[in-house]
Structure 1
Amino acid sequence: MSVQIIARDGEPEYAVLPWADYQALLQAAGHQPAVESGREQPDPEAVRPGLDQLRALREGKGLTAEALARSVGISPHYLAMIERGERQPDAAILRSLAWSLGLEGWS
């Protein structure tokens, strides 16, 4: 098994492995194999919050802007601009925001 470890601040944060190895791990754990990327059908009932709800989501989790920005790796000023709709974050920042807020993704 070939695994790539990605660290943040010297601590392991993600593990990246080949798709076939991931499928084998899922099966060994007794889960259904995941659907290949691009073929997954979105759940029409799943409603994901938009960036316009970022501040409410952050406050709902009891996080300060400084704490969320630090966990995502951006400045509090940049986070404030995202919350006000003045900036559109890239995909990596969106994933980090979703991870920090416990969300599956953004609309």
Structure 2
Amino acid sequence: MNVQVIMRDGEAEYAVVPWAEYQALLAAAGRGAAQVVKPAAAPVSDEAPNWKNLREARGFSLETLARAVGISPSYLALIESGEREASDAIQHGLRRALGIGESGS
């Protein structure tokens, strides 16, 4: 089995397996096949999302969201205040963690 282990603070946090192998594991466990559910596309906007409002609306603390994205809480605070601009990778992580579509809030 081809497994990638993602570590955080010296501990295994996630195991990533190829989709076909994941489906085989589900079948072996007597579970049905998994389906990919794509989030609904949000309206396209030229404005940057208000990350703080989105975070608070979903009940995330600054620390929890930052750790889910893999950045420090202080860096997320700078992004939320507009002092720093989030890279595309960080924006993708924020959208994923907050459960919003790729094109906006």
Alignment TM class, shorter chain as reference: 0.5 to 0.7
The TM-score with structure 1 as length reference comes to: 0.58
Structure 1 residue 56 displacement after superposition: 1.0
- Alignment partners' CA distance in 1, 2:24 and 2:59: 38
**Unaligned ranges ≥5, structure 2:** none
Which structure carries more relative contact order (alpha carbon 8 Å, separation 6+)? 2
Q: What root-mean-square deviation, in Å, do the aligned CA atoms of Structure 1 and Structure 2 show?
A: 3.5
Contact map agreement 1:71 1:100 (CA 8 A) in 2:
yes
What residue identity is the alignment partner of 1:53? N
Give the structure 1 partner of residue 32 of structure 2.
30
Give the structure 2 partner of residue 19 of structure 1.
19
Do the aligned partners of residues 17 and 104 (structure 1) sit closer, same or farther apart at CA in structure 2, a change above 3 Å counting? farther
The TM-score with structure 2 as length reference comes to: 0.58
Structure 1 residue 63 displacement after superposition: 3.5
* Residues matched between the structures, number: 97
Indicate yes or no: 2:91 matched with 1:106: no
Q: Deviations over 1:24-55 (max 9, x none)?
A: 23445212565xxxxxxx67xx1448851321
Q: Report the 3-state secondary structure (helix = DSSP H, G, I; strand = E; otherwise coil) of the residue aligned with 2:50.
A: helix
Indicate yes or no: 2:71 matched with 1:74: yes
What residue identity is the alignment partner of 1:106? E
Q: Deviations over 1:61-89 (max 9, x none)?
A: 34443453344332344323433284132
